[in-house]
Amino acid sequence: MNDTNILGQVALGYSPFIDKSRAVSATRLTVFPLRPESPPNVAELLGAVGNVWPADGGRASLNVLNEGLLGDLMKAEPSPNLMVEVPSFMASDPTNVEALQALHKAGNTLLIKGRPVKEVPREVLHCFTYSIVDLSEDRRLNETAATAPTNMGRNIPHVQSGVRTLVEMEGAFNRGAAAVLGWPIDDAINESQTKGKAASADLQVIVELIQRVDAQEPIERLEATLKRDPSLAFKLMRYINSPAFGLRVEISSFRHAIMMLGYQRLKRWLALLLSTAGKDSNMKPVMFAAVRRGLLMEELVRSSGDEEMRNEMFICGVFSLLDRMFQQPFSELLKTIPVPERVYQALVDNTGPYQPYFNVVQAVENESLFDFRAAADALMLSVSEINRSVLTALTSASQIE
């Protein structure tokens, strides 16, 4: 299906559903129609979404911010792996009863957003699996009970949205949330927690490898370093042989990888390995974000940048959350991890040619239409270019994982 039409008519954003084990259980895709009075074709939207999350693939939650388009979606028989978020005013509308019952019967998970101001029809009460309660509106913040809202006449598990820090995530789970929705990556860097505390052995090996690859040391020295942690060698080989990498032959050894890829392309995958090698479960959402940031930044310059620029953009995105993982400011962290000058400018100084692209990534993550438009205009990128990059990056990330 030609998706050019739909990708030029909407702005897309995404954020993760995080379960109690801190794993990402689904991805929310937020859809802003750019012309609310003329919503796009829902079949084209489902076609574009299906390329990323096919019926037999992972789970996604569609957060469609237009009543007309959402109404069309509710009648369009989306595949069962697609969850549908329904504002409370639409859940309370008797004209939507039949569509909601059909979605529930087809196996789609339904989530009700916001507290109903009108009674929800009894016939659809059982159709909703979760309620979505924004952190700013959560009455439990001043209560000891951890029960879900009872506005609908029954208790259902709730998902806490608007979560931006680890403290907020922990608090939501302590108050009984089944999952949280958001990016718990905004915590301040607490240097005092890590002073005198060395990085774990596996992270040290990767940092050393990046330094050696940057210096283009002989293959034998690189192999000797990697052999100190065979599990990392396995993970690196798995990344390189993933469909997202696009190689036509299987890479069978680290030596083979260097011969096939060269030092610069290998360095980008060591960067990915570094951003996903931590064992702290609270860092899983951070790793999820880092992988997608790297792939999205690379895609944003796919048609306009050379290979060197694409590799640097990938590293810039992947490294953009290392300060959270290591609890060190970038100015200190990048003294030991070599990065190109343009990457250093973006991460340390928030300047340079890559910073405007990073603004696009943050606008997509924050699901902010205003920021999306501003970032796109600053780079003179079309909406369809950004949306295509978003969907391609999400597809590649699912292939890696």
Examine the pLDDT at 67 and tell me if it is beyond 80: yes
Of residues 243 and 12, more confidence is placed in 12
The pTM for the full model equals 0.89
Domain 191-400 fold is: Hypothetical protein af1432 (1.10.3210)
Which range is least confidently modeled, 105-109, 164-168, 180-184, 197-201?
Answer: 197-201
Q: How high is the pLDDT of residue 191?
A: 59
Examine the pLDDT at 75 and tell me if it is beyond 90: yes
How is the chain split into domains, by residue range? Answer: 4-182, 191-400
Examine the pLDDT at 77 and tell me if it is beyond 80: yes
How many whole angstroms separate alpha carbon 341 and alpha carbon 62? 39
Q: How high is the pLDDT of residue 152?
A: 53
Domain 4-182 fold is: TIM Barrel (3.20.20)
| Helix 369-379 with 355-365: angle, nearest 10 deg | 160
Q: How high is the pLDDT of residue 137?
A: 83
Mean pLDDT score of the chain, rounded to an integer? Answer: 88
Residue of 271, 265, 344, 337 lying closest to 307 (CA atoms): 265
Q: Are 8 and 41 in contact (CB under 8 A)?
A: no
Q: Are 12 and 62 in contact (CB under 8 A)?
A: no
- 181, β-bridge pairs: 17, 161
Q: Where are the alpha helices (DSSP H) in 227-306?
A: 230-240, 254-275, 284-300
The token pair at 34 is 């750019």
Match 């200190």 to its residue by tokens.
Answer: 332
Residues 166-175: pLDDT tens digits?
999 999 999 9
Q: How high is the pLDDT of residue 93?
A: 95
Terminal CA-CA length for the chain: 26
Specify the pairing of strand 24-33 against strand 179-182: unpaired
Q: How high is the pLDDT of residue 111?
A: 97
Residues 330-382: pLDDT tens digits?
999 999 898 999 999 999 999 999 999 999 999 999 999 999 999 999 999 99
Specify the pairing of strand 158-163 against strand 24-33: unpaired
Q: How high is the pLDDT of residue 231?
A: 77
Q: How high is the pLDDT of residue 4?
A: 52
Residues 250-308: pLDDT tens digits?
888 878 877 777 888 888 888 988 888 777 888 899 999 999 999 999 999 998 878 88
Which range is least confidently modeled, 12-16, 79-83, 203-207?
Answer: 203-207
Of residues 171 and 1, more confidence is placed in 171
DSSP string, 55-106: TTS--EEEEE--HHHHHHHHTS---TTEEEEEEHHHHT-GGGHHHHHHHHHH
φ and ψ at residue 128, rounded to 5 degrees: -95, 125
Examine the pLDDT at 197 and tell me if it is beyond 60: no
Q: Are 320 and 290 in contact (CB under 8 A)?
A: yes
Examine the pLDDT at 200 and tell me if it is beyond 70: no
**pLDDT confidence bin for 164, thresholds 50/70/90:** very high
How many whole angstroms separate alpha carbon 135 and alpha carbon 114? 11
Residues 117-146: pLDDT tens digits?
889 999 999 999 999 999 988 766 655 334
Q: How high is the pLDDT of residue 201?
A: 59
Q: Are 231 and 201 in contact (CB under 8 A)?
A: no
Of residues 399 and 91, more confidence is placed in 91
DSSP string, 334-348: TTTS---HHHHIIII
Q: How high is the pLDDT of residue 146?
A: 40
Q: How high is the pLDDT of residue 150?
A: 43
How many whole angstroms separate alpha carbon 363 and alpha carbon 357? 10
pLDDT > 90: percent of the chain: 60
H or E, element range at 24: strand 24-33
Examine the pLDDT at 153 and tell me if it is beyond 90: no
